[in-house]
Chains A and B, each alone.
Chain A
């Protein structure tokens, strides 16, 4: 944390207005323990009825306001609820965004138990063994399949129709794996035939490594590429030199 704050301080001095951009691109990571599928169906039903049924229907069959959840699988429920995207905030957001989860871990497990009890199909929560995952292969897969939307360093990116590919930093390993398998929202899914278990673990490992990208060159400037570099070059670089000119040279 100290290294990041130091870098941020340097940036404030150097980049001025640009630091705003950096902080906006770097929401603090919120680690979430991965879900286990040993929740209580009855408690889940109660939670579902009060929290979810107004949009998804009493038996998750879907309504005009929300899609059916039959057969979406445990991974889907866990992803949407544990990232705080569900329940949706009232008000017309263009897409569900990450926010502090409304449910505790136990409650989420109960919800998963209830929804999967209605239809056991759909992808389960992926089990991950990241200890032996191939980081480099993960990088290759990430750049080939994920970087187009989320950016090479996972800071997120703009899509059409006002959609955004979210930054990956706040996501836990489990949530990344779930997203890959289910393809939440406008994201394509990558099933077991596309990404093997090994490949999934490799990608997840690489995404996790992007939480702390190797910024051996100094402050990462938000990892948003040449645009912030240009701003820093103008404001901090040329700006400082213009001040020097102004000091050395005559004013009138």
Chain B
């Protein structure tokens, strides 16, 4: 058995000469901190989205052609609806495993976006976006935008009442763009809402264009991580010049593959136990119908909340209109993502300390200002998200929806600075506390490629790019450092 493997190995190696690279790859060291796995949740959710999504495309028909329903769901028998809605009903009711696939797909999308957001938060608060990783920060933020866009496109595909309402609002937002808004809306939708071609267009965008873009950028994202090596927290034996952690093979690989199964397990459990987007209860889209509690999926919630909170300031002058929707619907996301993409450069501009590379991470408390700004900004968007739920909150807690809206307007302006200031003060306090030394033994891969073991208290502070080999026991020489 072993001999067969060895022979096969040799056969491939003679032709590809890959063993050197593979050996380097398998020996690659990844730092072990739990927060470094957040991106993996996103990665594996995406993988699940592709797998379940392919299954769904076998049954979904992206067409607005009207048909009369004659399927298994009695309350809609005989109702006129689009093929898109009908085929979604069919794949939910008549296709075996269709419902669980559809629900897993939807839950995976919800988790995908949540994981990306948490991952971005981790990178932000630990300063992992600093030089030389600005480029990967931009790639990552692009992935966030693409994921959001693709989530919304998918949410809009079944042509149910809820998704139609969402599309109607998206159309109005497109209309609101000054100068070319009507053209943008007409070219995007193929005419005045609800245009015939929107579902088939969204389908191509949802299953081809955006997934391809996401896949490509994911590759770039991970290639850059591979090339630059992962950042790590300060700790015994950890310096700006090394990476301390597990080797890709075997421990990291097994953990990572295992983690893929865990992500799939959670998604499957949700897909089977928790109902998501029950379109049969919402009914087919009718332009004149609407339901209370019409909300987008959570990751678009902040935009919906902004639309609710922004006052009706419509600018009308010189025979033209800048609709109120423009400010929360177009300007706010533009500015939001502009600041997000540009943050590494903004911070470098103001801290003026970014002339060197950073491979050791900050602890959030060490950067009170950045952490304060971060929590303040998060508060801003959380308030916006909850503002998108005012009607649901008003129903559940029996309060006035109009009163709630006013309260949210106040909260949106007051809460972020308060949270930012409190965080800033807390970080200052925490940073002043003495750091407890970690005395656990660690295995370190030195710059020369050797593995050494040592103890935290011996290994020095390891904090400022000063590798200290004294007090470390060499445990054998590994392969040379990676070839880049």
Contacts and interface: CB of A to CB of B under 8 A. Distances in A.
Interface of A: 10-11, 14-15, 21, 24-25, 94, 135-140, 143-144, 147-153, 155-162, 164-165, 206, 209, 213-221, 223-230, 232-234, 236-238, 240-242, 244-252
A220 B282 CA distance: 13
Contacts of A206: 75
A240 B266 contact: yes
Contacts of B280: 214
Given A157-B391, A230-B298, A241 B399 contact: no
B147 to A, nearest CB: 14
A244 B262 contact: yes
Given A10-B273, A233-B107, A241 B262 contact: yes
A218 B272 contact: yes
Nearest to A20: B396
A236 B266 CA distance: 8
Contacts of B92: 216-217
Contacts, number: 231
Nearest to A160: B402
Given A237-B111, A249-B36, A160 B401 contact: yes
B372 interface: no
17 contacts: A14-B269, A136-B76, A136-B78, A139-B283, A143-B283, A147-B291, A148-B292, A156-B292, A164-B395, A164-B398, A213-B278, A216-B92, A217-B275, A223-B278, A232-B270, A244-B262, A249-B32
A138 to B, nearest CB: 8
A15 B274 CA distance: 10
B312 to A, nearest CB: 15
A246 B32 CA distance: 10
B35 A249 contact: yes
B400 A233 contact: no
Given A221-B274, A228-B392, A241-B115, 7 more contacts: A14-B274, A25-B396, A147-B290, A162-B399, A241-B262, A245-B259, A251-B33
A152 B281 contact: yes
Nearest to A219: B274
A216 B71 CA distance: 15
Nearest to A144: B289
B263 interface: yes
A226 B277 contact: yes
Contact of B297 (A147, A229, A236): A229
A98 B76 CA distance: 30
B290 A236 contact: no
A147 B292 contact: yes
Contact of B111 (A137, A227, A241): A241
Contacts of A241: 41, 111, 115, 262-263, 266
The SS class assigned to the A binding surface is helix
A143 B286 contact: yes
A233 B107 CA distance: 7
A149 B103 CA distance: 27
A223 B266 CA distance: 21
B274 A227 contact: no
Contacts of B275: 215-221
A77 to B, nearest CB: 26
B273 to A, nearest CB: 4
A95 B428 CA distance: 50
B429 interface: no
B360 interface: no
B118 interface: yes
Interface in B160-203: 161-162
Interface in B285-334: 286, 288-298, 301
The 6 closest A-B pairs by CB, nearest first: A249-B34, A230-B298, A157-B292, A217-B275, A233-B110, A158-B394
Interface centre among A150, A164, A247 (most CB of B within 10 A): A164
B395 A157 contact: yes
Contacts of B291: 143, 147-148, 151-152
Interface of B: 31-38, 41, 73-79, 92-93, 99, 103, 107, 110-111, 114-115, 118, 161-162, 233, 235, 245, 255, 258-259, 262-263, 266-267, 269-270, 272-278, 280-283, 286, 288-298, 301, 388-392, 394-396, 398-403, 438, 440
Contacts of A250: 31-34, 245
Contacts of B272: 218
Contacts of A165: 292
Contact of B259 (A21, A136, A144, A248): A248
B79 A140 contact: yes
A250 B35 CA distance: 9
Nearest to A249: B34
Given A135-B75, A250-B33, A233 B114 contact: yes
Given A165-B292, A216-B99, A152 B32 contact: no
Contacts of A251: 33-34
A219 B389 CA distance: 20
A149 B395 CA distance: 11
Contacts of A245: 34-35, 37-38, 41, 259
Given A227-B295, A241-B115, A245-B41, A144 B276 contact: no
Contacts of A238: 41, 111, 114-115, 118
Nearest to B278: A217
A52 B130 CA distance: 73
A232 B267 CA distance: 11
A40 B290 CA distance: 44
Nearest to A231: B298
Given A213-B281, A225-B295, A234-B114, A135 B274 contact: no
Contacts of A249: 32-37
Nearest to B394: A158
B402 A162 contact: yes
A237 B110 contact: yes
B111 A149 contact: no
Contacts of B93: 216
B288 A226 contact: no
A228 B275 CA distance: 11
Given A213-B281, A220-B275, A246-B34, A164 B394 contact: yes
A136 B273 contact: no
Given A217-B99, A226-B298, A144 B111 contact: no
A93 B269 CA distance: 43
